[in-house]
Each structure stands twice: as C-alpha cells, then as structure tokens.
Amino acid sequence: MNEFYDASETRSTDAREAALFAALPGQIAHAKAKATYFATVLADVNPADIADRAALARLPVTRKSDLIDLQQAAPPFGGLTATDKSKLFRVFASPGPIYDPEGGGTDWWRIGRALWAAGFRPGELMHNCFSYHFTPGGIMFETAAHAIGCPVFPAGVGNTEQQARAVADLRPAGYSGTPSFLKIILEKAVEMGLDHSSLTKACVSGEALLPPLRQSLNDLGVDVVQAYATADLGLIAYESKAKEGLVVDEGIIVEIVRPGTNDPVVAGEVGEVVVTSFNPDYPLIRFGTGDLSAVLAGHSPCGRTNMRLKGWMGRADQTTKIKGMFVHPRQINDVAKRFDVIARAKLVVEKDGDADRMTLHVESADHSESLAASIRDTMQSVCKLKGNVAFHAPGALPNDGKVIEDKRS
C-alpha cells in the first residue's frame, strides 16, 4: 500500500511554498471578514500583500498565552473563530480555562496524516487512550482514524486492568495516547499473563517521548512515533518511520520566531513555533504555540519533503519575577534591538545571597565599558531593574531558545 498519505507530502519545496502562499491572502481576507479579533489586529493589512514569508513576518503574533484574557473579554472564543457557536460540532475546555471549537467536516484536526505515517491502514482497530472528557484529544484521534478507515476502541484513560484485557480480547493493531500510559498497559498485560502481541504500532502525543521510554516500548513489541498537535491548531508536525525529526503538516505554515517578538530566527536557531492555519472555522494567523523548537536542515530520509522540526525543546514563555517585578522576553529583545552591535542577548537570573542578581549576556564584537554602561541604563529604563552586562563573542551563546534563564532554583 502507498507509503504516503497523499502526493502533497513529496512535492518540491518551491511547489509547496507557491501553493501555500497563493492560498494565504484568501485565508487572511476570510479571517478579517469573519473573525472580529482578526478584523481588529489586521485592520491595516491588505491580504493581497501577504504573498511570501517576508510579508507574513510583518504581521503580529497572537500567542496561546493570550487566549485566556481574550476569551474572558469576548466569550467564548475571544473573537478568533469565523463560525458561529451554534454551527460547531463540539466545544472543548483545556486548563486555564481555554475553550476550543471543533467545526464540521472530516478529520477537522488533520491528524489522519500522522496516523498514516505511523503505519495505520484501513480496517485496523485503534485502541484510543486519549481523554474523551473535557479536552479534545480522544475525538481528535478518533475522527482521524475514521477518516482513514480505522475502527476505534474509545478506551480513554485509567482502568489499567480493563485496558489490558481489552487489548487481549479485541486485538487492536495500534494504540493512540500518551507513551507512558501505553507502557503501563503493556506491563499490566505481562503481569496478568495476557497477550498484547497484536499491538505493533503507536502514534503518541501529549508528553515527551524520551529515548529510554521509546526503547522500552520497542522491547515490548511496539514501534512508536510521535505527533505534535494542539487543541487549537490540530496537527503541526509528525514523526515518520525514519524517526529523524518531525515533518510539518501540509495544511499549515510554520515559522520559528525569537521568543517575545514577531521576528523569525535564522535557520537552525531555536525559537517559538508560530503557525498559520488554513482552517476556515478557526483561522489562526501567526499563532504562537509557546513551544520551542528549531528547523532541521534537509529532507526526511522517508521521502517526505516538508520542513522538519527537531521536536519539543521547552517553553517560549519565559516570563519571570525579579525583585517583585515581572520581566518578559519581549523586554529583553527590546533592549537588544536598541543596539546595532548586539547580535543576541540572554538574561540570566541568579541568587546572590538572599538577593536576586540579573546579568544580561550579549553577543557583540564591541566589549567596551561605554557600551556596557549604555546597555545597563537601557535595561533599567525598559525593565525598571538594575542589572549587570557580560559580553560574549558573536555565536558564543548557546542555541537553546532561552531569552530569560532563571537559575535561582
């Protein structure tokens, strides 16, 4: 059977970019016309002008961390949806609370592509252990399985002995859920003397799949790959059998930006994952996920040609409280932008006895005391706090996406 979900996975980079950016002006026009939030924040934007990545990068980033306040100000969805609540299929709640819509159609979150890459094929039973309560995980993967022709056992979470018994009795071909819960089920099956050999594949999400856990599951007979998805965006990227990075989904545009800014980083640098979606019901334009990642060079050995991400590398929202005041990544970037000689900056917060000590580490060819004094003055003006300055050669700071590093704990 076909290794690829569809032909779009193997098209050239130029063909993919041309198709995405030919469709983007229409999506931006749709968002402005139907979603009151985007009508406001994109009021001065001519959709026809947003026809490449450089133009897209000039638009503001709306971050997931903004959703709670936006939804409280304009319930239930903050004005970001383009479909009336009465016409939705389902509404979900994530911690915060953040309310997530689901519109109509087949595989609304586009997870089917990830299941196909994991090896799921029509007719195979999927044991689905994502939650069906409040949050959309269970429905996200169930509707995707149905889209590719797979029946689903809606197992949800908990009831470990019953889960192991169902695996032995129903003999599902694959599993969806968190990797740690899969390990619990399989170990329970071994403890109870139950056959779990039908489970040979899994598409997991919701937590980190560290190498020891992947190896443990492989030792138990299950080949595991990851899907990177969120309740608001659906599928962002997925692992193929090559297991060399996460391949970006075909239905979105992904950028990596410097945390706290709207600015894309250079290729390979760690930054925040920002996604533009073509979903007509929830047309998220430059939506900051709050997750850190970086782009891998080249194409996947599996033959898929889209951009690849290294995977989850931490959180982009690094706001911290120093001496009773919050300091945000955007403030540190604001300080750096005021000096042409600064290539990159990172604030490190440490304890000096009982007091907080903050040091702005900057990459610059100029290490003069006059520059350091100007930076200190700017930092106090922007952050309302005094700090030290430490100089480094260009390229010396670690590529970890951290704009603020809190070492006090």
Q: Which two tokens stand for residue 349?
A: 């917060």
pLDDT value, residue 323: 81
How many Å apart are CA 136 and CA 121, to the nearest integer?
Answer: 23
Q: Give the pTM.
A: 0.88
pLDDT band of residue 94 (cuts 50, 70, 90) is confident
Q: Please state the rounded mean pLDDT for residues 274-278.
A: 98
Q: Please state the rounded mean pLDDT for residues 79-97.
A: 94
Whole-number mean pLDDT of the chain? 95
Per-residue pLDDT reduced to its tens digit, 194-239: 999 999 999 999 988 989 999 999 999 999 999 999 999 999 999 9
pLDDT value, residue 116: 98
pLDDT value, residue 220: 97
How many Å apart are CA 332 and CA 345, to the nearest integer?
Answer: 7
Per-residue pLDDT reduced to its tens digit, 143-152: 999 999 999 9
17 pLDDT above the threshold of 70: yes
Strands 252-257 vs 246-248: parallel, antiparallel or unpaired: unpaired
How many Å apart are CA 23 and CA 31, to the nearest integer?
Answer: 13
Reduced to 3 states (helix: H, G, I; strand: E, B; else coil), residue 356 is strand
pLDDT band of residue 408 (cuts 50, 70, 90) is confident
Closest CA to 202 of 144, 102, 290, 118: 118
How many Å apart are CA 174 and CA 200, to the nearest integer?
Answer: 6
Hey, CA dihedral for 46, 54, 318, 275, is it positive or negative?
positive
User: Do 384 and 326 contact (CB within 8 A), yes or no?
Assistant: no
Q: Please state the rounded mean pLDDT for residues 314-337.
A: 86
3 pLDDT above the threshold of 80: yes
Per-residue pLDDT reduced to its tens digit, 113-126: 999 999 999 999 99
Closest CA to 62 of 216, 272, 325, 334: 272
How many Å apart are CA 295 and CA 316, to the nearest integer?
Answer: 15
371 pLDDT above the threshold of 70: yes
Quote the DSSP letter at residue 126: E
pLDDT band of residue 245 (cuts 50, 70, 90) is very high
How many Å apart are CA 330 and CA 259, to the nearest integer?
Answer: 7
